Amino acid sequence: MIRGRRGGDGDGDEGERCVHRGVHWYRDARGNVSFYDASGSEWVRWARGVDAPPLPPRWQLLGVPTRVTRPGWRSPWRVIPLLLLVAVIIIAVFQSVPSSSGNTAAEAKAATALLGQCLARTGSKGFSSKAVACTSAKAAVKVVQVVPTTPGSPTCPSSTVAVELAYPGVRYLHQECVVAVTPGG
């Protein structure tokens, strides 16, 4: 900011004067713009980025730079937030998609381990996924066959009942073909 006597102080400068929003403005023939600072009782040269009142509207169109230049879209200040946003979206998608390959193998292994084992009843319609001794009073059904439920795979024999034990993250569960166990063996 340059302070001093400007703006039609009688020294012969030809220029343009106006009042905008109660502020006196002066522009000389060279294009220098000044405003009158009433608190300091002096003319202050306007410069980009200086704490100053808004320029008169028609002077903004006559080549006086009124906007502070901003960095382009490829500047680090614009690219870094975009990269952070992309990284957050990738992490969110990665976390929301379940990894079913590990779960599928674990479910197949757990289903195969139940072959020949007995299961206890849980509630009125379900069965426990943990094996119990077939001689136990809790034993309700015995697993006689395990078949996959992928499209085109065989089903349980007609003399058995198909049971699927829930396993998170697995699309095609194995069916345990079970038969009722008589109490005590």
pLDDT tens per residue across span 146-157:
998 878 888 888
CB distance 138 to 132 below 8 Å: yes
Query: Tokens 């829930």 appear where?
Result: 166
The side-by-side arrangement of strands in the sheet containing 33-37 is 3-4, 42-45, 33-37, 23-28, 15-20
Does residue 163 register a pLDDT over 70?
Answer: yes
Judged against a pLDDT cut of 50, whether residue 64 lies above it is answered with yes
pLDDT in tens, 4-34: 444 444 455 577 888 878 888 887 877 777 8
Among 42-51, 52-61, 172-181, the minimum mean pLDDT is found in 52-61
**pTM above 0.85?**
no
What tokens appear for 94 in the block?
A: 């990665």
Lowest-pLDDT range, 110-114, 137-141, 149-153? 149-153
Range scoring the smallest mean pLDDT among 78-82, 92-96, 100-104, 123-127: 100-104
Arithmetic mean of pLDDT, 43-67: 67
pLDDT above 80 for 102 = no
**Do 123 and 164 form a contact (C-beta atoms < 8 A)?**
no
